[in-house]
């Protein structure tokens, strides 16, 4: 179900996640970012200090609300209480856009509070598209969905992840949040080519890029884990440059850190590097 | 609409059971590769839930000690795996888990109850406390009937409980990082009232009879019903007993007003 008014225009800029440890930085001065992204669930609340701070930051900067609990891939359907509260947040904040992940987190009985992998099958695709239609209909706007990092694939898979995402955007009109680190992590865990992944996506649907760090594989554990607890690694920076060069439109790029959160200046340093790489990637090649 | 369980729903249920319970059967056709991947998701689940409990119950953890607290968390999560969309809800009912787990130290459960109540008011809707002068003006012309039918609006999600331990002392001591030895027992039970002052969750200990009275008014009892509550089961109270109950209810109302716990009249 694609709505006429669901177009999300490109937004060119560089931002960070708004985290509690940086509240004072954002309240006391103008931080050199073009937007902030917040975890939706942290602000799907009724009042108090945390929400007041978000409102103050919103008065200065565009805000993106990024969820981790919509469970868009749940075969049991979406949680109506969750959707109601997300809609309330969306109305209170008027975000640039609303995003979540290509994943599932819960059944009707329990919640894993983790981004669990979808089997890449036609059945799963139909379920997820039905859920996306419902979410976009409730919100009255198109959403972005992020490619996940994953630690297993399913024997029953029928599609590659990029084929799945392509078909998902085609059927629902949703957009993509490209997590470059997640592409890298999953490519190493499952043995596919990051470049092939990028080339297979509908890149005109990408509106945002996430950059984050991960825990590399070890001799004891050959799985790379997406931890968001350290700086972006060199391979991911290189892949970011390739992705930006391939995109037909400007996008919003952000540094995502959720654990071992450093002082803000450190994240802003990484953001400067992203600016530099994006600028170089978009320069015409010198002959 | 059909209630048929789809293959995808079955697969997701099996997957989630395997995350929650290490001994649950794995989905059919899985290799070591999938099992290794599942272990990562299981680890993520455990650290997310344990992390949420540790964050919500910071002082309880400090008081109980790391190992004992961790074991209580494991018991809680096994018995009450999270179902809601917010991770904060993983801590719901943890005070009852503590009551069983630390049966010989009931103060642990009281402390856990307080931390949960403080978390609940932190994100409650904003409530503006009624100014005592405004209360005085609004009730200046009240006759007996008006007083008897008066209802109060309280600060959203405020809560109350009778406690046997000095939570004020424990809260302060445990906020200073180190667990200091102290005897937190109260000489007689008191009521702990929890609400938000502006943006700051706060609590006080007051006389024990506040708990039932506060809860009744929160649930919409009238001031007249509050006096009846204070009279208890006395079928034929003397005028002096009635007078005392009226004075006691007045004292409570004054305290709630003074503390900023009342936000309006006759909501």
CATH number at residue A79: 3.20.20.150
Contact yes or no for A8/A246 (Cβ under 8 A): no
Token couple for A267: 């994240």
Instruction: State whether residue B97 is helix, strand or coil.
Output: helix
Domain count, chain A: 1
**Weakest mean pLDDT among A182-191, B31-40, B181-190, B193-202:** B181-190
Return d(Cα B21, Cα B104) in angstroms, integer: 30
Domains of chain B by residue range = 7-123, 125-267
Please tell me which of A163-172, B3-12, B233-242 the model is most confident about, judged by mean pLDDT. A163-172
Q: Give the per-residue pLDDT at A4.
A: 43
Q: Give the per-residue pLDDT at B27.
A: 87
Q: Which residue in A45, A81, A150 is closest to B123 by CB distance? A: A45
CA A93, A98, A99 angle in degrees (round to 5)? 145
Contact yes or no for A37/A146 (Cβ under 8 A): no
Confidence band, pLDDT 50/70/90 cuts, at residue B181:
low
Q: Give the per-residue pLDDT at B24.
A: 94
Q: Give the per-residue pLDDT at A284.
A: 65
- CB contact (8 A) between residue A111 and residue B13: no
Q: Which residue of A has its CA nearest to B6?
A: A75
Q: Which of B1, B8, B39, B78 to mutate to test the interface with A (most CBs of A within 10 A)?
A: B8
Mean pLDDT of B71-87: 95
Please indicate if any CB of chain B lies within 8 Å of the CB of A155: yes
Gyration radius (Cα) of chain A, Å: 18
Q: What is the pLDDT of residues B19-39, one digit of tens each?
A: 999 999 998 889 999 999 999
Mean pLDDT of B95-101: 98
Mean pLDDT of B180-192: 87
Sort out which chain B residues have CB atoms less than 8 A from A55's CB and list them.
none
Token couple for B102: 């630390």
Beta strand pairing status for A252-255 and A206-211? parallel
Burial readout B38-58 (b: 16 or more C-beta within 10 A, e: otherwise): bbbbbebbbebbbebbbebbe
Q: A3 in a domain, yes or no?
A: no
Q: A240 in a domain, yes or no?
A: yes
Token couple for A12: 């060119």
Token couple for A221: 């554990």
- CB contact (8 A) between residue A75 and residue B40: no
Return d(Cα A166, Cα A178) in angstroms, integer: 12
Mean pLDDT of chain B: 94
Q: A2 in a domain, yes or no?
A: no
**ipTM for the whole complex:** 0.94
Q: A271 in a domain, yes or no?
A: yes
Q: A63 in a domain, yes or no?
A: yes
Return d(Cα B175, Cα B182) in angstroms, integer: 14
Q: Give the per-residue pLDDT at B266.
A: 87
Closest approach of chain A CAs to the CA of B135, in angstroms?
A: 24
Looking up tokens 């560089």, which residue turns up? A14
Q: Give the per-residue pLDDT at B3.
A: 61
Q: A8 in a domain, yes or no?
A: no
Q: Which domain holds residue A105?
A: 16-280
Phi-psi region of B29 (alpha: psi -120 to 50; beta: other; left: phi over 0): left
Q: Give the per-residue pLDDT at A29.
A: 92
**Weakest mean pLDDT among A77-91, B170-184, B222-236, B247-261:** B170-184
Q: What is the pLDDT of residues A65-110, one digit of tens each?
A: 999 999 999 999 999 999 999 999 999 999 999 999 999 999 999 9
Closest approach of chain B CAs to the CA of A221, in angstroms?
A: 9
Q: How many residues does chain A have?
A: 287
- CB contacts < 8 A, A to B, total 122
% of residues, chain B, pLDDT over 90: 90
Looking up tokens 């642990």, which residue turns up? B108
**Cα dihedral B107, B112, B113, B119 sign:** positive
Q: A287 in a domain, yes or no?
A: no
Measured in degrees and rounded to the nearest 5, phi and psi for residue B115 equal: -65, -35
Return d(Cα B54, Cα B42) in angstroms, integer: 18
**Weakest mean pLDDT among A110-124, B94-108, B196-210, B222-236:** B222-236
Interface of chain B toward chain A, CB-CB under 8 angstroms: 6-9, 11-13, 15-16, 19-20, 29-31, 33-34, 36-38, 40-41, 44-45, 48-49, 52, 81-87, 90, 121-126, 156, 196, 199-200
Q: Hey, what's the torsion of the CAs at A52, A54, A59, A61, to 10 degrees?
A: 170
Q: Which residue of A has its CA nearest to B31?
A: A155
Return d(Cα B19, Cα B44) in angstroms, integer: 10
Residues of chain A with pLDDT under 70: 1-5, 284-287
Cβ partners under 8 Å of residue A267, min gap 6: A16, A255, A257
Q: Give the per-residue pLDDT at B28.
A: 84
- CB contact (8 A) between residue B87 and residue A152: no
Confidence band, pLDDT 50/70/90 cuts, at residue B1:
very low
Q: Report whether pLDDT(B99) > 50.
A: yes
Contact yes or no for A149/A192 (Cβ under 8 A): no
Q: Report whether pLDDT(B131) > 90.
A: yes
């Amino acid at each position: 179900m694609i709505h006429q008014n669901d177009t999300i225009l490109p937004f060119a800029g560089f931002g960070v996640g708004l985290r509690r440890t940086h509240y004072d930085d954002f309240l006391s001065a103008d931080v050199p970012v073009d937007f902030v992204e917040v975890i939706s669930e942290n602000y799907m609340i009724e009042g108090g200090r945390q929400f007041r701070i978000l409102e103050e930051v919103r008065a200065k900067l565009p805000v993106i609300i990024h969820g981790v609990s919509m469970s868009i891939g749940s075969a049991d359907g979406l949680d109506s209480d969750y959707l109601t509260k997300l809609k309330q947040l969306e109305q209170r904040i008027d975000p640039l856009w609303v995003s979540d992940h290509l994943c599932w987190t819960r059944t009707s009985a329990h919640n894993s509070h983790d981004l669990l992998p979808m089997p890449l099958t036609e059945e799963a695709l139909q379920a997820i598209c039905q859920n996306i239609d419902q979410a976009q209909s409730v919100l009255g706007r198109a959403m972005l969905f992020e490619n996940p990092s994953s630690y297993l694939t399913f024997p029953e898979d029928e599609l590659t992840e990029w084929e799945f995402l392509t078909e998902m955007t085609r059927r629902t009109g949703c957009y993509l949040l490209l997590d470059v680190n997640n592409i890298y992590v999953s490519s190493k865990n499952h043995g596919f080519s990051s470049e092939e992944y990028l080339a297979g996506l509908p890149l005109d649907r990408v509106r945002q890029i996430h950059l984050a760090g991960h825990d590399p594989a070890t001799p004891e554990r050959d799985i790379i884990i997406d931890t968001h607890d350290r700086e972006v690694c060199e391979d991911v920076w290189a892949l970011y440059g390739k992705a930006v060069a391939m995109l037909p439109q400007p996008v919003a790029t952000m540094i995502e850190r959720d654990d071992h959160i450093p002082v803000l200046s450190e994240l802003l340093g990484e953001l400067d590097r992203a600016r530099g790489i994006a600028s170089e990637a978009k320069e015409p090649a010198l002959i | 609409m059909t209630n048929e369980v789809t293959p995808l729903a079955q697969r997701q249920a099996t997957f989630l059971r395997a995350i929650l319970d290490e001994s649950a059967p794995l989905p059919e056709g899985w290799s070591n590769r999938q099992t290794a991947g599942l272990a990562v998701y299981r680890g993520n689940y455990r650290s997310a839930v344990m992390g949420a409990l540790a964050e919500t119950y910071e002082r309880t953890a400090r008081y109980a000690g790391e190992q004992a607290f961790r074991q209580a968390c494991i018991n809680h999560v096994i018995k009450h795996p999270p179902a809601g969309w917010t991770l904060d809800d993983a801590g719901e009912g943890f005070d009852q888990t503590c009551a069983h787990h630390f049966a010989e130290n009931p103060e642990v459960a009281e402390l856990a109850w307080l931390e949960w109540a403080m978390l609940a008011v932190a994100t409650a809707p904003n409530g503006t406390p009624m100014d005592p002068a405004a209360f005085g003006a609004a009730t200046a012309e009240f006759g007996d009937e008006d007083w008897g039918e008066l209802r109060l609006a309280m600060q959203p999600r405020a809560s109350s409980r009778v406690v046997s331990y000095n939570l004020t002392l424990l809260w302060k001591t445990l906020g200073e990082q180190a667990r200091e030895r102290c005897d937190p027992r109260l000489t007689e039970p008191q009521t702990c009232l929890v609400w938000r002052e502006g943006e700051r969750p706060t609590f006080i200990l007051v006389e024990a009879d506040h708990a039932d009275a506060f809860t009744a008014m929160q649930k919409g009892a009238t001031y007249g019903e509050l006096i009846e509550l204070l009279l208890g089961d006395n079928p034929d109270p003397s005028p002096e007993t009635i007078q005392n109950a009226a004075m006691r209810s007045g004292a409570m109302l004054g305290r709630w007003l003074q503390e900023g716990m009342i936000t309006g009249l006759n909501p």
